[in-house]
Structure 1
Amino acid sequence: MTIPLWCLLVAIILPYPWAMTAMGERKKQFGTADNKNPRKQTAQLEGKGARAYAAHQNALEALPPFGIAVLVAHVTHADPTLSTILAVAWIVARVLHGVFYIADIDKARSGMFVLGNLAVVGQFVISAMAAGVPPHH
């Protein structure tokens, strides 16, 4: 399995540390984590817990574009070195995105969001280049 495909596995797992952080904050804020109606309780989170849950949701939202980009690069036989660099850059950006989200460092979080999206676009660009499609098409 290639490094970009391993990164895809990491990306699938990545939302869950943020969810576990949010669950810990639910226990702190409410005395328990309500498993019968967790969404209602989660909606009432404030501060770190709310940010951790938002990081979880954002990680889930970022997964499909990254997964598609990695798979397109794989099937088009895009440059493996560039695909690896872009995939690892995405993972680093997304890990830092979650850390910055929970720590309430908004500008750095936004920067990591942009960097991750550029890595996804980069995967599509190298895929187009591998498929012989000029960028202006």
Structure 2
Amino acid sequence: MTFNHFTWAYGCLLLAALLPVVCAGISKYGTFGKSRQQGGYDNHNPRAWLALQTDWRARANSAQANTHEALPFFFAAVIVAHQLQASQPLVDALAVAFLVLRAGYILAYVSDKANLRSAIWALGLLVNIAILFAGFR
């Protein structure tokens, strides 16, 4: 029986999957102690509550949605790179770069730095493409 090791890139899959949870936490930050009547988080109707949010809370929720959208390509790229036996240090470095870019993307989104956010998004896309093709020879 052969056991494969858990790579840094695989660990990045887990961390990337948790990023939307971080965004959700940011969007709800500081509202749990308030009543619904005072604008506090409404766990009975969370989507409607989020739809009413503005400013950085609304942007954090949008960052959450975009982070969910980015996950399938990232997951597929990492899995394909592993299947094609790409250079593990390269795939690991690119996966970490993707995570760093996504964290920067979230920060730029929440702080309303639209041009920076778009540039980071584009870099993240290029990193995903690089991961996908890392194993092609």
Matching residue within 11, 20, 24 for 1:15 = 20
Aligned to 2:11: 6
Following superposition, which runs of at least 4 residues in structure 1 exceed 4 angstroms of deviation? 25-30
- Structure-2 separation of matches of 1:33 and 1:24: 9
Instruction: Write the distance in 2 (CA, Å) between the matches of 1:26 and 1:32.
Output: 4
* Aligned-residue identity in percent: 36
1:128 deviates by: 2.2
The alignment covers a number of residue pairs equal to 129
The separation in 2 between residues aligned to 1:83 and 1:57, in whole angstroms, is 25
Stretch of structure 1 that moved more, 17-26 or 71-80: 17-26
Unaligned runs of 5+ in 1: 130-137
Q: Within 5 A, what are the aligned runs for 1:94-133?
A: 94-129=102-137
The answer for the alignment partner of 1:31 in structure 2 is 39
Aligned pair partner of 2:54 in 43, 46, 50: 46
In structure 2, stretches of 5+ residues that fail to align are 1-5
1:75 equivalent in alignment to 2:80: no
Cα distance in 2, alignment partners of residues 7 and 105 from structure 1: 25
What CA distance in whole angstroms lies between the structure 1 residues aligned with 2:26 and 2:16?
Answer: 17
Which residue identity is paired with 2:69? E
- What CA distance in whole angstroms lies between the structure 2 residues aligned with 1:88 and 1:94? 10
TM-score, scaled to structure 2? 0.88
1:135 is aligned to: none
The superposition leaves residues 4-56 of structure 1 with CA deviations (integer Å, 9 ceiling, x where unpaired) of 11111110111111101111265679531111111111111110110010011
Q: Deviations over 1:54-104 (max 9, x none)?
A: 011111111110011001111111111211121111001000000010011
- CA-atom RMSD in angstroms: 1.7
